[in-house]
Structure formats: structure tokens, C-alpha cells
């Protein structure tokens, strides 16, 4: 498959070092340092980690402080190595007063953690954060967290929330100061308002064995959102989810965007997951489609590693299937770089956003972009709120065009998201975890 030439390794390493130097020194954010240390601690003790994650997961369903404490004690009771602090917590569970104190403290802890990853309860409430990010030189894509959609009413409700979010974002960005780097690339203007949507929330009928069913049901809601985005001048990005829904989402986006109505907008995008073994084939298909269906502005493709690795791997193993994902992190990392080169080479038929917290992957993309004659502002880099804040900040300072993926929603709706992000953060192979443990920069920047 054709692609841009790989950039010189020396260049990748030099850029990586430059970004690393721009990262804030440890200790500058005291609260975050506490969080980081807590996550590191739990990541070393798999049982404690599992207990705490299960607790975080159940918090919204607990009916009282007492109930919260009872759950926490229940989970902690399953941890084999009962350290003194653990025993102390367990003992608090024996009395009503103890449970009140324990439950209150635990609820506060979870809420604090959630706030790090979830910007606000709703888009309107995210106003201050989004405007501050913009002023500081980063744009955002807002993602509405929600319960799973199992009914038509829930799908309609989610679509309505998305519509309201588009209006709220338009208002929020209406009078922000101009940030030319964030508002234009080589192809043309970039919308300020940017919303990411999930097809699994747009229909209750996303069935792995019948992709056409979910596609049919979601299409009218997606069309409505696309019209709304076009009318408000916003960008609409369709997220990719687990492999079970991959075919339905891909077909839906391609089919709807092929309709005449959407030939000239809105700005829209989809996602490519580098951890999928057949990621290259999907890109073949999308690029062939873009070539055959010229639209303005071109489709934006966000390249991510993929957030459902554990789910995909376990599910495949349970069913006796070949996992659709690469088994080793290095394979996904290599795939990420290969897809980066192909995407960069495919411009301007598509727009490219590189979404990664892996210093090496980001440096590689920047180097490849420069090697292909692009300027830094021509390449969008994306990070996640709560996980990639420092990296995003450093990249923006270095003059890169950065977008922060900002989940918005209440605690109940956000728990599944939160747990997935925590898992990513404390997973043994996670780049951030390695970085936090002080792995040598050269190792982190080595070719995968």
C-alpha cells in the first residue's frame, strides 16, 4: 500500500525529546500528582485495582452513603493481601458511623476522580472549560456520555441531547477570540464547534450479526444531526466502538455521507482504530470511497489506537475466535505508524487527526508530516481530557494544532467511560504508566 516515506529516526527522536522537555515537571499539579500516585499504587496490586474499579463502577447505583460503604467493604473483602489501611477500612464497615465516614470519603474520592475525566454535567456547564481551552490555544471535541441505548426513546433522547449540544457549542464558541491556528488548515476553514457522537447511542438495534438493522435505524437520527451541524457550521465526528459494531458504523457513515444532501457539508469525520488487524483494509475502503465521492470539506479521519482492547481480546477468547486486535502493543504501535504514513499521503482527499498519548506515535506523526512537506499547523493532534492534558498543553505550546476530546455528562452516565479510562491509565503496557514510572526517554521513543 502506498504511503508517505517513513521519517528519519533521528528526527522522530529529536521531536520526541522536544515534546518531553515541554511537559510540565512532576509536582507542578499537586492534586494530579496524588491521583497519579494512587493509580500507580493500584496498578501494582491487581486485586486492589479490580476492587476499586468495581467500586467506581457501582457508585452511581448506590442509594445512600451507607450503601456505598457496604459495597466498598464488599469489594475490599475480596482482596487477598489485607494491608493495615485495608483492614482499617474494613473495620469502619462494621459500624453505622464508620460506614457514614467511609462512604462519604469514598464518594468524594470517586467524584474527584470523575471530574478529572469528565468536563461537566452538560455542554452548557462546560462553557468555562471549553473557552479557557480555546484561549490557551486548544480546540475541543465534546462527547456526550450516556447510559446504553436499549430503547427507541433512549436513542431519540440521545439524538436530542446531541442537537442541543451543537447549539450550546455554537453559542460557546460564538464570541471567543480568533485563533487562526485552530481555525484553518491547508484545505480550508475548520469549524470551532466539534461534537463526537456514538452510533451505539443513536439506535437500540446495533446487532453484530445484522449490521444493516442498526444502520437503518440510526440513519434518520444521524441525518438529522448532520443537517443540524451543517446549519450551525459545526463538525460532527462519528466515533468508532467495539468490533461488534464496526461494520454497521462504517457502512452508516459512508452511505449517509454519500447522499447528495451532504455533498457540501457539514464537516464530518470517522475513526480508524490502529489496533485492529484489518485496519488497513478499512482504510483502503474509506480512501476508495473518498476518491469516488469528492465532498467539501473532505472527510476527517481520526487515527486512534483503540479503546476496547481488553473487551475484544476476552470476547474473542471466550468464543474461540481469532482476536480482531493485535495481541502485542508493539504490533498496534507499528500499525499506528503505518496508518499514519498512509493517511498523511492521502491528503487532501481526507483530513487527518492523530489521537495518541504515546510520545513516540505523536513524534512520528509530526516528523512524517514535516518530511512530507507539511507544516505543523496542517496536522491535527488529539488528546483525551484527564489523561492527555499535559501532553496537549506541551504540544500546543510548541505550535501544534491540538484538540482535546472532552466527555460531558453526569456521574451515572459517565461511569463506564471512567472505568475504561482508568483501565487504560493503569494498564501495564500503557504508555502513560511507563512514563509515570520514569522509563528512560530513549526507550519510550524507540521504534516499536
Partner 1 sequence: MSPLEPFRNEPLAELRRGTERARLDDALALLDARLPLRVPVWVGTDRREGDALPSTDPGAPDRVVALAARATTGDVDAAVAAARGAFPAWAATPVNERADALVGAAAWMRGRRAELAALCVRECGKPWAEADADVAEAIDFFEYYARGAIALAKRPPQLVQVPGERNTLRYAPRGVCAVIAPWNFPLAIPAGMVAAALATGNTAVLKPAEQAPGCGLMVVEALRAGGVPAGALALLPGEGDAGAALAEHPDVTTIAFTGSGAVGLGLLRAAAAKPPRAGSLTRVVAEMGGKNCVLVDADADLDDAVPAIVHSAFAYAGQKCSAASRVLVHEAAADALLERLAGAVEVLPVGQPSEHGTVAGPVIEREAQERVARYAALAADTGRVVTTRAAPAGGWFAPPTVVTDLPADHPVLHDEIFGPVLAVEAVRDLDEAMDRVDALPFALTGGLFARNPRTIERVTARSPVGNLYVNRGITGAMVGRQPFGGNRLSGTGTKAGGPDYLLQFVEPRVVTENTMRHGLVVD
Binding residues for partner 1 (CB under 8 A): 54, 57-58, 61-63, 67, 70-71, 74-75, 77-78, 147-148, 150-154, 204-205, 207-213, 217, 243-244, 247, 319-321, 416
State which residue, 7 or 214, has the beta carbon closest to partner 1.
214
Under DSSP, is residue 211 helix (H, G, I), strand (E, B) or coil?
A: helix
The minimum distance between CB 359 and partner 1, in angstroms, equals 34
Under DSSP, is residue 60 helix (H, G, I), strand (E, B) or coil?
A: helix
Q: What are the residues facing 299 on neighbouring strands?
A: 350
The minimum distance between CB 170 and partner 1, in angstroms, equals 31
The span from the CA of 46 to the CA of 76, in Å, is 12
Residue corresponding to grid cell 430503547: 151
The minimum distance between CB 98 and partner 1, in angstroms, equals 16
The minimum distance between CB 160 and partner 1, in angstroms, equals 16
State which residue, 38 or 316, has the beta carbon closest to partner 1.
316
State which residue, 211 or 279, has the beta carbon closest to partner 1.
211
- The CA R_g of the chain, rounded to the nearest whole Å, is 22
State which residue, 206 or 391, has the beta carbon closest to partner 1.
206
The minimum distance between CB 292 and partner 1, in angstroms, equals 20
Q: How far is CA 283 from CA 60, 120, 218, 278, 292, in A?
A: 39, 34, 23, 9, 14
Pairing of strands 235-238, 267-273: parallel
The minimum distance between CB 346 and partner 1, in angstroms, equals 25
State which residue, 62 or 286, has the beta carbon closest to partner 1.
62
Q: How far is CA 218 from CA 156, 233, 241, 251, in A?
A: 10, 22, 15, 11
DSSP secondary structure of 283-312: HHHHHHHHHHS--SSPEEEEEE--S-HHHH
User: Which residues 6+ apart lie within 8 Å of 416 measured at CB?
Assistant: 57
- Angle value at C-alpha 348, between 343 and 354, nearest 5 degrees: 35
SS3 content of the chain, % helix, strand, coil (to 5): 60, 10, 30
The minimum distance between CB 213 and partner 1, in angstroms, equals 5
| Alpha carbon 264 to chain centroid, angstroms | 27
State which residue, 193 or 276, has the beta carbon closest to partner 1.
276
Handedness of CA 160, 179, 390, 328 (dihedral sign): positive
Grid coordinates representing 301 are: 479521519
State which residue, 10 or 318, has the beta carbon closest to partner 1.
318
The minimum distance between CB 211 and partner 1, in angstroms, equals 8
State which residue, 205 or 253, has the beta carbon closest to partner 1.
205
Closest Cα partner for 191 from 50, 333, 351? 351
The minimum distance between CB 80 and partner 1, in angstroms, equals 13
The span from the CA of 279 to the CA of 335, in Å, is 8
State which residue, 31 or 210, has the beta carbon closest to partner 1.
210
State which residue, 67 or 164, has the beta carbon closest to partner 1.
67
The minimum distance between CB 320 and partner 1, in angstroms, equals 3
At what angle are helices 246-258 and 211-232 packed, to 10 degrees?
50
Q: Classify the phi-psi angles of 86: left when phi > 0, otherwise alpha if psi is within -120 to 50, otherwise beta.
A: alpha
Amino acid at each position: 500500500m502506498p504511503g508517505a516515506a517513513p521519517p528519519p529516526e533521528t528526527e522522530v527522536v529529536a521531536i520526541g525529546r522536544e515534546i518531553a522537555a515541554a511537559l510540565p515537571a512532576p509536582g507542578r499539579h499537586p492534586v494530579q500528582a496524588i491521583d497519579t500516585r494512587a493509580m500507580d499504587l493500584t496498578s501494582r496490586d491487581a486485586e486492589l485495582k479490580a476492587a476499586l474499579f468495581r467500586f467506581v463502577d457501582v457508585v452511581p447505583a448506590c442509594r445512600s452513603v451507607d450503601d456505598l460503604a457496604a459495597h466498598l467493604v464488599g469489594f475490599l473483602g475480596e482482596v487477598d493481601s489485607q494491608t493495615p489501611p485495608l483492614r482499617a477500612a474494613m473495620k469502619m464497615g462494621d459500624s453505622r458511623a464508620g460506614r457514614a465516614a467511609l462512604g462519604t470519603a469514598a464518594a468524594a474520592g470517586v467524584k474527584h476522580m470523575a471530574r478529572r475525566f469528565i468536563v461537566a454535567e452538560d455542554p452548557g456547564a462546560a462553557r468555562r472549560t471549553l473557552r479557557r481551552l480555546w484561549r490557551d490555544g486548544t480546540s475541543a471535541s465534546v462527547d456526550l456520555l450516556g447510559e446504553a441505548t436499549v430503547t427507541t426513546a433512549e436513542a431519540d433522547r440521545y439524538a436530542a441531547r446531541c442537537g442541543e449540544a451543537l447549539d450550546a457549542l455554537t453559542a460557546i464558541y460564538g464570541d471567543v477570540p480568533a485563533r487562526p491556528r485552530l481555525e484553518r488548515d491547508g484545505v480550508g476553514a475548520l469549524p470551532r464547534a466539534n461534537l463526537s457522537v456514538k452510533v451505539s447511542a443513536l439506535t437500540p438495534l446495533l446487532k453484530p450479526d445484522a449490521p444493516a438493522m442498526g444502520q437503518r435505524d440510526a440513519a434518520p437520527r444521524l441525518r438529522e444531526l448532520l443537517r443540524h451541524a451543517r446549519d450551525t457550521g459545526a463538525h460532527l465526528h462519528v466515533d468508532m466502538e467495539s468490533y461488534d459494531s464496526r461494520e454497521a458504523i462504517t457502512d452508516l457513515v459512508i452511505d449517509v455521507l454519500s447522499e447528495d444532501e451532504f455533498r457540501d457539508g457539514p464537516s464530518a469525520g470517522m475513526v480508524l482504530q490502529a489496533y485492529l488487524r484489518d485496519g488497513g483494509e478499512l482504510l483502503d475502503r474509506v480512501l476508495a470511497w473518498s476518491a469516488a465521492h469528492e465532498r467539501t470539506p473532505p472527510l476527517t479521519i481520526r487515527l486512534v489506537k483503540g479503546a476496547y482492547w481488553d473487551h475484544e481480546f476476552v470476547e474473542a477468547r471466550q468464543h474461540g475466535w481469532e482476536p480482531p486486535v493485535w495481541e502485542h502493543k508493539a504490533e498496534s504501535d507499528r500499525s499506528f505508524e503505518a496508518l499514519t504514513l498512509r493517511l498523511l499521503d492521502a491528503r487532501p482527499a481526507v483530513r487527518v487527526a492523530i489521537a495518541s498519548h504515546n510520545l513516540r506515535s505523536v513524534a512520528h506523526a509530526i516528523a512524517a508530516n514535516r518530511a512530507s512537506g507539511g507544516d505543523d499547523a496542517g496536522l491535527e493532534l488529539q488528546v483525551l481530557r484527564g489523561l492527555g492534558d499535559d501532553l496537549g498543553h506541551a504540544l500546543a505550546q510548541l505550535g501544534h494544532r491540538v484538540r482535546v476530546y472532552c466527555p460531558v455528562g453526569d456521574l451515572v452516565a459517565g461511569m463506564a467511560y471512567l472505568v475504561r479510562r482508568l483501565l487504560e491509565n493503569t494498564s501495564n503496557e500503557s504508555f502513560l504508566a511507563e512514563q509515570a514510572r520514569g522509563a528512560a526517554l530513549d526507550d519510550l521513543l524507540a521504534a516499536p
